[in-house]
A and B are shown apart, each in its own frame.
Chain A
Amino acid sequence: MATWTPDPTFYPSARLAAQGPREKLAYVAMLNVATPPRPDALDVVDLDPESRTYAQRVGRVEMPQVGDELHHFGWNACSSALCPYAPHPHIERRYLIVPGLRSSRLHIIDVKDNPRAPKIVRTIPAEDVAARTGYSRPHTLHCGPEGIYVSALGAPDGGGPGGVFLMDHESLNVLGRWEMDRGPQFFAYDLWWHLGYDTMLTSEWGTPNMIENGVVPELLLGGKYGHHLHVWDLKRRRHIQEIDLGPEQQMVLELRPAHDPTKAYGFAGVVVSTKDLSASIWTWHRESEKWAVRKVIEIPAEPADPAQLPPLLKGFKAVPPLITDIALSLDDRFLYVSCWGTGEMRQYDVSDPFNPKLAGSVRIGGIVARAKHPASDAPLNGGPQMVEVSRDGRRVYFTNSLYRAWDEQFYPEGIRGWMVKLDADPAGGIKFDERFFLETEPALRPHQVRLEGGDASSDSYCYA
């Protein structure tokens, strides 16, 4: 329904967003691995330190069917509604669009009436998505100036190509395939953009067939998973450039462009190098009319006793860092890097995007380390994974599960879910909030976190 003034959670710029009120609630995607199968859920977590239920689950909505594999999700509308060329600011940030990565269903969840008791108002079946777009396995979504952009890993038969489809921000209908000309692009994973340059970037994982039964060592060692970035003309919907990071750079996943639309650079995370099991961060940037990329961070593998390693890694005698997620604060100053394998969350000062400086680090979980949280007695497994930063950059939330079939390969004993919070010093440095340690019920594994009213990866801005 149209409103008289813009949604109060829409901000013209990232700078203004950082001045907004503190978040009180988080929504967390919960994968359910129970036998017999139980539906996945979207949990609501209390983030208000003054509240009696701080750091606890205060709400839950279960999905209507089993087998979704909830993963990433996002809002129907956000600050990009204020963009000058396609304005529609009198819409509410009200619905979470929650895809099932395995089921390909899209759940529309209304959080307006009672933010602690979200309601599923509509489920779009996989067949609808397939019929209208030719895609399946919807992954990441972003609210854009013209509608909702969703990346999808592949085709309904589990092959490729993957790509991007559009949804209408008012009717929430799936509209169709976004690309007019996909050029050489075949794999899909993340998407984001530089609105100030009418440019979109996409990254690469693998087709559903390459990932749904776990990582395939032959494909990995053969350099067959994705290792490119793709640059697109956002307005003409055309592929304009493919950037190869090299076949050893396996799985280019998360994309974090600068939030300031005048800056033409951003960061991409690479999960693993087949040369030495290191993981890396690359900075892409615009050089005259072309886009280029440069490796700016390399995190080495840590030597380990094979007895402590899962079968997949025994032969390597090392534990790979596995950068599975990154997050950039709204002031474009701090980059958070999740090392899901070694169990480390790193904070880099990226004021100079080509010379990041390590500013902080905490250890928790890890394939070998099993590091504890200050509030936990027992060793923890899983590692820092989906990470989200508050709008003001002072608080960092993260969870520990990756993707069901891959969880089992790296943590074969089964991941015990947790969500934690860090306090970030504005001058650099991170430490655990000892009051915030949320352990999930045994069969539930937390994935992406979204903060009420927007966070550092939910919104994009057209104004500096």
Chain B
Amino acid sequence: MPDAAQAASFWAWAALAGLGAFHGVNPAMGWLFAVGRGLQSGRRATVLGSLAPIALGHMASVAIVIAGVEALREFVDVTLLQALAASGLIGFGAWRFARGFRHRFRVGMVAGFGDLTLWSFLMATAHGAGLMLAPVLLLLPPGTGLLALGVHTAAMFAVMGFTAWAVFEWVGLALLRRGWINLDLLWSGVLVGVGGLLLATATAEHATGTHGLGALLRVCVG
């Protein structure tokens, strides 16, 4: 296997884990809900007990995208798939930005396992959590979807769990007042940015007949 492909593969796995960590640290994706429920009940066990259903809902949302990519790449040319993923990301990012940020799910502070799972599934889906994984998956060999799902969810779960525990035990929620930066806005920008990069890469690949970011580099450098 050429070094370039090995390097691409390494960065793809790192990106899957990194995106998981990003979702894990985002208060809107679950750790804050776990902490809020813990403060409501006054029990550490509630914080811990909330993490599993939240991770499960997140995983389900991401799994749909991964399964979709795995199925499509059997029949569709990778370059076309990249272009599809790119337009999906750009469109979704722009739509999120234009729509604004609001949620009206029928889940509140009194939530059971199923409610939390459903809530997390809806939040991750509305966030476009899985969509971002599509371009990364395309850098990996077919058949690695399940492993990708595992890596992403494990990273998300670990970071979410650590953050929830740290905030509940010692940091406290005053942190939110300054520390909660607008990850929604940032994420919308990242969706559009990655979509643009992907589109450029796919176009370059088509022009040079080579694959990956190297193709884009080749076009840029000449």
Contact = CB atoms under 8 A, between A and B. Distances in A.
Interface string A1-13: 0111110101111
Contacts, number: 108
A234 B108 CA distance: 8
Contact of B39 (A91, A145, A198, A463): A463
Contacts of B180: 5-6, 82, 89
A86 interface: yes
Interface residues of A, number: 40
A85 B105 contact: yes
Contacts of B185: 2, 4, 90
Contact of B176 (A82, A91, A145): A82
* Interface class of chain B by DSSP: loop
Interface residues of B, number: 33
A171 B173 CA distance: 29
A195 interface: yes
Contacts of A88: 101-103
A82 B28 CA distance: 9
A12 B173 contact: yes
Contacts of B173: 12-13, 16, 463
A170 B96 CA distance: 13
Contacts of A198: 108-110
A13 B175 CA distance: 12
A464 B181 contact: no
A147 B105 CA distance: 12
A262 B39 contact: yes
Contacts of A87: 27-28, 32, 103
Nearest to A2: B185
A462 interface: yes
Interface string B95-129: 00000111111111111000000010000000000
B103 A146 contact: yes
B109 A8 contact: no
A90 B109 contact: no
B182 A10 contact: no
Contacts of B36: 83-85, 462-463
A169 interface: yes
B150 interface: no
Contacts of A89: 176, 180
23 contacts: A2-B100, A4-B182, A4-B185, A6-B180, A10-B177, A11-B177, A12-B177, A13-B173, A82-B176, A84-B35, A85-B103, A86-B105, A87-B28, A88-B103, A90-B182, A91-B101, A145-B108, A170-B102, A171-B100, A195-B108, A195-B109, A235-B106, A463-B40
